[in-house]
Structures are given as structure tokens and as C-alpha cells.
């Protein structure tokens, strides 16, 4: 691994990686190696394999797929238990977008007003955000192209992305 790499960030999929690459501060991007999973199980499997051959801090960035605090905590504890059995518990940080990464687009008030003004936020729980994005933008990549520098600043300061940045910056190696 490159000596300037301070952490490994694993995402559930390509869209998650592309979003993070676009909105995370440049120094975090430059100091990180990104690994893209193909869903939750793939992400966990890759993380376990990597942890056996690497001592860098690893961050598993994923959707919680739930808003239930107990369920989210159980999922997190199950993951930590897996790495505890490998003797790698302290190497792993877990971050959940609740219920999924796409919620960040609605947490950013300016972005929501510009691109989701006809969406009833109260109905979101009944319909996947991913489906709403596809219905309104076609491919999710089209949504990423709408993000400008003001949006990046808003995402970094006023959404769950802020918590993720704090996690990535504060983790000791």
C-alpha cells in the first residue's frame, strides 16, 4: 500500500463510492484507498479478507436499510462481533446512512428544494429513495452531475456526511 494511505474505505456499491468521491474533502480522498463491494454481504466479505492482511483502519460505509435504532445497533454489533473474532475489532469503523445514502440529498435543504420540490417527504418511508431518484433523474449518475460546489459545502456541513467526515478524520491509526 502507498505510504500516504491512512485508511481503507469500503462502500456497498459504485454509486456510493462516486458520491463519496465527489463530496468528501480532498485530503480524505487522497489519504484513502476505496474498495467497492457489490452489496452488504460483499462489503463484509471483502473487509474480512482485507483485515487479515492489512492493519490500516477500515471504514465500512453502508446503508442501514432501517430507521429502527435497535435494529441498526444489532446490525452494527453483529459486524463488530465478526471482526472481534478475527482480533481486528479496533481496526474497523462502521458508518450507516439511515436508512440509505440517498437520504443525504433530502437532508440538504437547497438541493431538496432545487431537485425534489414535488416529492412528498412524508411518503418516503413507503417508497425507496432509490426508486424516486430513478423516476426523477433516470440513472442515479444524473443526480451526481447536479452537485455543485455549494452543494458539496452544504453536504459536508449540514447532513450525515458531516458525521462521516468527523469519523474519518478522528480515527487514530
pLDDT, residue 173, reads 35
Instruction: Convert the pLDDT of each residue in 126-162 to its tens digit.
Output: 466 777 888 878 888 888 999 999 999 999 998 899 9
CB contact at 8 A, 22 and 144: yes
Contact residues for 42 (Cβ-Cβ < 8 A; gap 6+):
12
What is the pTM assigned to this prediction? 0.89
66 pLDDT more than 60: yes
CA 163/CA 51 separation, integer angstroms: 24
pLDDT at 172: 42
Alpha helices, H only, the chain: 14-23, 26-30, 40-53, 69-85, 103-107, 109-115, 129-137, 140-144, 149-158, 160-170
32-65: per-residue pLDDT in tens?
999 999 999 999 999 999 999 999 999 999 999 8
**pLDDT at residue 127 in the model:** 60
82 pLDDT higher than 70: yes
Bridge-based pairing of strands 7-11 and 92-97 is unpaired
**pLDDT confidence of residue 125:** 59
What pLDDT is stored for residue 137 in this prediction? Answer: 84
Amino acid at each position: 500500500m502507498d505510504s500516504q494511505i491512512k485508511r481503507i474505505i469500503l462502500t456497498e456499491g459504485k454509486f456510493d463510492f462516486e458520491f463519496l468521491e465527489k463530496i468528501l474533502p480532498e485530503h480524505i480522498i487522497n489519504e484513502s484507498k476505496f474498495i467497492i463491494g457489490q452489496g452488504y454481504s460483499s462489503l463484509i466479505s471483502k473487509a474480512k479478507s482485507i483485515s487479515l492482511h492489512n492493519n490500516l483502519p477500515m471504514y465500512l460505509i453502508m446503508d442501514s436499510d432501517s430507521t429502527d435504532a435497535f435494529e441498526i445497533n444489532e446490525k452494527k454489533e453483529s459486524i463488530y462481533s465478526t471482526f472481534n473474532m478475527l482480533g481486528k475489532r479496533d481496526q474497523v469503523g462502521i458508518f450507516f446512512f439511515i436508512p440509505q445514502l440517498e437520504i443525504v440529498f433530502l437532508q440538504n435543504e437547497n438541493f431538496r428544494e432545487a431537485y425534489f420540490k414535488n416529492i412528498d417527504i412524508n411518503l418516503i418511508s413507503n417508497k425507496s429513495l432509490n426508486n424516486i431518484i430513478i423516476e426523477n433523474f433516470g440513472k442515479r449518475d444524473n443526480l451526481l452531475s447536479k452537485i455543485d460546489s455549494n452543494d458539496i459545502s452544504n453536504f459536508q456541513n449540514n447532513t450525515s456526511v458531516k458525521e462521516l467526515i468527523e469519523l474519518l478524520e478522528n480515527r487514530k491509526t
